């Protein structure tokens, strides 16, 4: 993890003719680092600066008669006192102001009610909210982070000027890790308030709208504002943390109705302490009562679905009943959105990733929540010869087909079966494209060691071969144990390749897990390592300032620190089909399996105070287990790498601060088709570092089992629309794919 102290090296390796050298005439500047003294800031890992408080006086807010308005945290009518700071994220205006010491925010408004919109987090404190001199305590603590949450609402006020003050109290829930105060926005209303919600937007019946048609395997999301939805009654609108940023609600007689073509539909709503019981009917049939009551507010909740309608056109009606749960404070009806499907069991977005012996197949979840299993079909490119090659149980949505012939084109499809034995009708397919076939061919070529030009059988002979290499050398390691600190240096300027090959019984070792690196490649180019083993060394293999290094079929085990390390601007390199196990024997927290780049805390120590721009490293189809730290980690500063088709297993030796099994803090990485199993919090994690790394990464088609939380965690806060991280819905292993919404 990135918060670890400097990684010690027994013998720091000097870089021979580094590919990136600082200008000696330019004074070195080490980026200043602020002391992040609060748990909130530390968890978010970004640098922030104190804000200057605005002037003491500010204008009175007035949305106008019969109107509502949202006031963002930056509005000049808000008066801040104390050391407030700013942060970007998934908030209503793209950011927040937050406070972790004495201070407050205050404002005046004319109206009948207001809501304070904030985040709820594990580090939230208890705030003191004072309205016209009357104070209330508001606890924003939740175990998981939620955005754009109305944490306090005051309604039924007289239509006059009111004063509001929200102050940091220094108090917190006993479960909270800190005491922060967060301001996202305020919703101000000036109208006769509704009985349970603070807005006033009257809706009514509309002309007949179009028939909704979610044709194909992809479901259709219909927002509450869609003209195809027919509303009757006095509906009102409210902005918030809903699927489209708002919802419609009703507190008196009325209904919503729509017509669609398909077999399945789902109603998305809020669940609240003021929710009533709704009546749902399809095609004028029997009424189903739906109770949306919850003691705490929940957003974007699937509250009802039907998945077994006959093919054809159907009409859905949802009506206000005026009844409620005995615990509810009101009877409201809320519409956030609807999801419609032509075939509720159809899988979508089938994707393939190359392996040495086949392909991983991954797919998005079907619409239906009743799916129990999937069959993976493989056929010839033209669809002939269809056969089921595997079956997996939901929520797993990945299969490794390790029987596919190399160089042959295939088409893959996936069918789903639900708990009533129904199978999906519609199918999406994926065919092994020319690019995927070429990628697999290049992976297999990495194993093809040419005929030996020299064979070594002793440590001394190996040292000699590495000290004076010639272009085109193919060094064959005879079976046996080679003890020493072996190194190949400075061949980057030579034309041609160098190969070092052997069987798993040819073993390189430094002689101790507490001392020495078994093999160092420093400023080399076009070097290939195939088949041999590295064992019982302080560090396994280190690659520095090199290009075109390929490792295939290696076995690296019993290592004191990390097994394989690409660093110091190493580029265009690969490790494939290798086995790594038992790392971190000396110190678990430094025991990564494959480690790419250098922590920003160590850039000055090992990279002349420059970011380590190690780039285009591919980590493909390796098996990594029983590591002390992350099986695979790509550090900040690294670029354009691929982590594909690996099998990583976390064991009991993982350091206590390991949160995920594959960790990326670089830019423009692809993690796809991997399988991770271990009792970490997440399977995969992307974190954002202060230097701007952690952006433009894609996490797609991966499987995680046994995690205690989501499959994937994308570090917050970040403005994902601009930072470009993509969490695909094809990741699987748990119902909760990620801490943010996935992308179909």
Topology annotation, domain 220-341: Jelly Rolls (2.60.120)
**How many other C-beta atoms lie within 10 A of the C-beta of residue 392?**
17
Q: Please indicate, yes or no, whether the overall pTM of this predicted structure exceeds 0.85.
A: no
Q: Determine the average pLDDT of the residues in 320-327.
A: 96
pLDDT at 534: 99
Q: Per-residue pLDDT for 628 more than 70?
A: yes
DSSP 474-503: EEEEPSEEEES-EEEES-TTS-S-EEEEE-
Residue 732 DSSP code: B
Same topology, domains 43-190 and 220-341? Answer is yes
Of 193-207, 355-369, 416-430, 508-522, the least confident: 193-207
Alpha carbons 507 and 254: distance in angstroms, whole number? 77
Q: pLDDT by residue (tens digit) across 96-138?
A: 999 999 999 999 999 998 989 899 888 899 999 999 988 888 8
Higher pLDDT: 549 or 48? It is 549
Q: How far is CA 701 from the centre of its chain?
A: 12
Residue 196: how many CA atoms within 13 Å on its side-chain side?
A: 18
Q: Per-residue pLDDT for 684 more than 80?
A: yes
Q: Determine the average pLDDT of the residues in 242-262.
A: 94
Higher pLDDT: 348 or 435? It is 435
Q: pLDDT by residue (tens digit) across 139-186?
A: 888 877 877 888 888 887 888 999 999 999 999 888 888 899 999 999
481 — phi, psi (to 5°)? -105, 130
**How many other C-beta atoms lie within 10 A of the C-beta of residue 550?**
22
Q: Per-residue pLDDT for 272 more than 70?
A: yes
pLDDT confidence band for 323 (50 / 70 / 90)? very high
Q: If you average pLDDT over every residue of the chain, what do you get?
A: 88
**How many other C-beta atoms lie within 10 A of the C-beta of residue 208?**
10
Q: Per-residue pLDDT for 194 more than 80?
A: no
DSSP 224-247: TT-TTSEEES--EEEESSSTTSEE
pLDDT confidence band for 13 (50 / 70 / 90)? low
Higher pLDDT: 85 or 482? It is 482
467 — phi, psi (to 5°)? -75, -35
Determine the CATH number of domain 446-727.
2.160.20.10
Whole-angstrom Cα Rg for the chain? 30
CATH match for 348-444 among 2.60.40.10, 2.30.110.10, 3.40.50.1100, 3.90.1150.10 = 2.60.40.10
The helix (run of H) or strand (run of E) holding residue 683 is: none
Higher pLDDT: 410 or 31? It is 410
Q: Determine the average pLDDT of the residues in 341-366.
A: 96
Q: Determine the average pLDDT of the residues in 568-595.
A: 98
Q: Per-residue pLDDT for 25 more than 60?
A: no
Q: Per residue, what are the HEC states of 184-229?
A: CEEEEEECCCCCCCCCCCCCCCCCCCCCECCCCCCCEEEECCCCCC
Quick one: tokens of 266?
A: 């789902």
pLDDT at 209: 64
pLDDT confidence band for 10 (50 / 70 / 90)? low
pLDDT at 20: 39
Class for domain 43-190, per CATH?
A: mainly beta
Q: Per-residue pLDDT for 689 more than 80?
A: no
Alpha carbons 606 and 246: distance in angstroms, whole number? 50
Q: Per-residue pLDDT for 363 more than 90?
A: yes
Q: Which SS3 state, helix, strand or coil, does residue 378 take?
A: strand
pLDDT at 693: 87
Of 80-94, 393-407, 440-454, 483-497, the least confident: 80-94
Nearest Cα to 517, choosing from 547, 543, 499, 491? 543
Cβ contacts of 295 within 8 Å, gap of 6 or more? 273, 327
Please report, in angstroms and rounded to a whole number, the separation of the first and last CA atoms in the chain. 29
The residue count for the chain = 744
Q: Which SS3 state, helix, strand or coil, does residue 76 take?
A: coil
Alpha carbons 462 and 484: distance in angstroms, whole number? 10
Of 20-29, 565-574, 620-629, the least confident: 20-29
Of 533-542, 553-562, 707-716, the least confident: 707-716
For the chain, the domains span 43-190, 220-341, 348-444, 446-727
pLDDT confidence band for 43 (50 / 70 / 90)? very low
Q: Determine the average pLDDT of the residues in 510-520.
A: 98
Q: Are 153 and 186 in contact (CB under 8 A)?
A: no
pLDDT at 1: 54
Q: pLDDT by residue (tens digit) across 648-674?
A: 999 999 999 999 999 999 999 999 999
pLDDT at 33: 28
Of 210-214, 348-352, 522-526, 717-721, the least confident: 717-721
pLDDT confidence band for 240 (50 / 70 / 90)? confident
Q: pLDDT by residue (tens digit) across 216-229?
A: 888 899 999 999 99
């Amino acid at each position: 993890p990135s918060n670890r102290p400097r990684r010690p090296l027994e013998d720091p390796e000097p870089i021979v003719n580094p590919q990136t050298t600082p200008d000696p005439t330019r004074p070195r500047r080490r980026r200043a680092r602020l002391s992040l003294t609060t748990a909130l800031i530390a968890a978010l890992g970004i640098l922030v600066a104190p804000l200057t408080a605005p002037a003491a006086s500010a204008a009175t807010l007035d949305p106008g008669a019969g109107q509502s308005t949202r006031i963002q945290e930056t509005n000049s009518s808000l008066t801040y006192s104390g050391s407030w700071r700013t942060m970007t994220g998934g908030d209503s205006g793209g950011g927040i102001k937050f406070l972790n010491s004495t201070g407050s925010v205050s404002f005046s408004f004319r109206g009948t009610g207001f809501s304070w919109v904030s985040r709820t987090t594990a580090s939230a404190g208890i705030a003191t909210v004072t309205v016209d001199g009357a104070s209330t305590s508001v606890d924003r603590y939740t175990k998981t982070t939620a955005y754009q949450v109305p944490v306090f609402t005051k309604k039924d006020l007289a239509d006059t000027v009111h004063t509001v003050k929200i102050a940091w109290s220094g108090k917190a829930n006993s479960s909270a890790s800190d005491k922060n105060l967060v301001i996202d926005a305020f919703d101000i209303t000036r109208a006769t308030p509704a009985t349970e919600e603070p807005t006033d937007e009257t809706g009514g019946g509309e002309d007949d709208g179009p028939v909704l048609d979610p044709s194909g395997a992809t479901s259709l999301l219909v927002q509450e504002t869609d003209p195809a939805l027919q509303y009757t009654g006095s509906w009102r609108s409210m902005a918030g943390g809903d699927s489209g940023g708002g919802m419609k609600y009703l507190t008196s007689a009325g209904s919503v109705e729509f017509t669609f073509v398909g077999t399945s539909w789902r109603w998305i709503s809020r669940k609240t302490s003021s929710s009533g019981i709704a009546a749902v009917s399809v095609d004028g049939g029997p009424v189903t009562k739906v109770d949306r009551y919850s003691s705490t507010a929940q957003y974007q909740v699937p509250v009802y679905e039907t998945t077994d309608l006959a093919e054809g056109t159907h009409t859905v009606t949802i009506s206000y009943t005026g009844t409620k749960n005995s615990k509810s404070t009101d009877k409201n009806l809320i519409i956030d959105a609807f999801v419609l499907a032509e075939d509720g069991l159809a899988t979508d977005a089938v994707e393939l990733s190359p392996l040495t012996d086949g392909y991983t197949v991954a797919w998005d979840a079907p619409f239906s929540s009743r799916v129990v299993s999937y069959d993976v079909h493989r056929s010839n490119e033209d669809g002939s010869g269809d056969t089921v090659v595997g079956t997996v149980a939901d929520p797993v949505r990945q299969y490794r087909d390790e029987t596919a012939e190399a160089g042959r084109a295939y088409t893959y499809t996936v069918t789903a079966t639900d708990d009533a034995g129904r199978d999906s009708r519609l199918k999406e397919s994926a065919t092994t494209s020319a690019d995927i076939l070429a990628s697999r061919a290049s992976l297999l070529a990495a194993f093809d060691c040419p005929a030996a030009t020299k064979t070594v059988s002793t440590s001394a002979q190996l040292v000699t071969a590495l000290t004076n290499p010639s272009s085109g050398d193919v060094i064959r390691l005879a079976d046996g144990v080679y003890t020493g600190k072996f190194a190949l240096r400075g061949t980057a300027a030579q034309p041609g390749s160098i190969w070092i090959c052997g069987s798993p019984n040819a073993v390189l070792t430094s002689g101790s897990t507490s001392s020495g690196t078994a093999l160092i490649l420093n400023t080399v180019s076009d070097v290939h390592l195939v088949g041999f083993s590295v064992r019982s060394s302080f560090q396994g293999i280190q690659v520095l300032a090199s290009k075109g290094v390929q490792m295939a079929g290696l076995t690296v085990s019993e290592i004191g620190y990390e097994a394989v390390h690409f660093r110091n601007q190493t580029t265009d390199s690969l490790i494939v089909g290798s086995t790594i196990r038992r790392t971190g024997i000396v110190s678990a927290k430094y025991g990564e399996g494959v480690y790419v780049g250098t922590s920003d805390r160590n850039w000055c120590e090992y990279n002349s105070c420059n970011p380590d721009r190690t780039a285009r490293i591919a980590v493909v189809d390796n098996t990594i287990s029983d590591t002390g730290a992350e099986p695979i980690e790509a550090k900040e500063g690294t670029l354009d790498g691929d982590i594909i088709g690996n099998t990583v297993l976390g064991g009991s030796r993982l350091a206590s601060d390991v949160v995920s099994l594959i960790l990326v803090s670089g830019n423009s990485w692809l993690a796809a088709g991997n399988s991770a199993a271990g009792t970490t919090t997440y399977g995969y994690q992307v974190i954002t570092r202060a230097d701007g790394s952690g952006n433009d990464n894609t996490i797609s088609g991966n499987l995680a089992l046994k995690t205690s939380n989501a499959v994937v965690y994308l570090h917050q806060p970040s403005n994902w629309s601009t930072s470009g991280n993509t969490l695909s819905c094809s990741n699987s292993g748990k119902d909760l794919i990620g801490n943010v919404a996935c992308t179909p």
